[in-house]
Structure 1
Amino acid sequence: MIAPSGWTFLSNHGHVLVSLAADPDARIRDVADRVGITERAVQTIVGDLEAAGYVVRERVGRRNRYTVVPRGRFRHPLEQHVRVGDFLALVLGAGDPPPPPGPA
């Protein structure tokens, strides 16, 4: 899904990482649909993330399971103090209370 204005704060690498953290058993096709890029692009990004140590791929039967390594740090000097796990907790809302009932 592409943002209406054409740009987002995260790169496709960030979107794929968030998607895999949210659903470790997701198929490449599902991640591609969520992020709004091709399956080939997701495969390349997953390879990059794996090579850099941010993601571990485990074969489970005929599928893959992806585990995000939470202790990794962002690569850019401006954000290298941020751990991937802390970022994902923020983005995925881990530990946040459920929203109150009623109209949004």
Structure 2
Amino acid sequence: MASTNAGQPASTWTFLTHHARVLVEIARDPQARIRDMAARIGITERAVQSIVSDLHQEGYLTLHKVGRRNHYTLNAERGFRYPTEADLPVRLLLDLFTQHDLPEDGAPARATGSNGQQAASASR
């Protein structure tokens, strides 16, 4: 892959969509604010709100108002949307990306435990 002078990849594609990143952020913190998710992912609040709406409409999460904030519950057994992975639960993705805590700068940290428990509450 070609890289720029600053050592950054020339291409801007990534392996995870914004939808996957929002789902992972909610798995990490079911009470996360839209503003915080947007800042962490690097997209607008409006984009996060639209994605949350998509995920809710498709049954990947439910929203509950707690005071002025939303609390999210994930349906981690819901299958992926792409036909070749539709028989696999999104729990596999969530488990992969929530096995460790990320520090504020977003760099991967060591796993938090040997029991493999997910960091956030997702219905199983």
With the length of structure 2 as denominator, give the TM-score of the two structures: 0.70
Q: Which residue among 58, 64, 69 is the counterpart of 1:52?
A: 58
**Are positions 1:71 and 2:88 aligned together?**
no
Matched position secondary structure for 1:53: coil
CA offset at residue 86 of structure 1? 2.2
Over the aligned positions, Cα root-mean-square deviation in angstroms equals: 1.9
Q: Which has the larger radius of gyration?
A: 2
> Which has the larger helix fraction?
1
With the length of structure 1 as denominator, give the TM-score of the two structures: 0.83
Between the two proteins, the alignment pairs up a number of residues equal to 95
The residue that corresponds to 2:46 in the other structure is 40
CA distance in structure 2 between the aligned counterparts of 1:9 and 1:44, rounded to whole angstroms? 20
CA offset at residue 89 of structure 1? 1.0
1:62-89 deviation line (CA, Å, top 9, x unaligned): 1001111111000101221220112211
CA distance in structure 1 between the aligned counterparts of 2:69 and 2:94, rounded to whole angstroms? 24
Q: Which residue among 21, 25, 48 is the counterpart of 2:27?
A: 21
Letter of the aligned partner of 1:33 in structure 2? A
Matched position secondary structure for 1:59: strand
Matched position secondary structure for 2:71: strand
Tell me which stretches of 4 or more aligned residues in structure 1 moved more than 6 Å.
none
Q: Which residue among 12, 16, 20 is the counterpart of 2:18?
A: 12
Identical amino acids, percent of aligned pairs: 48
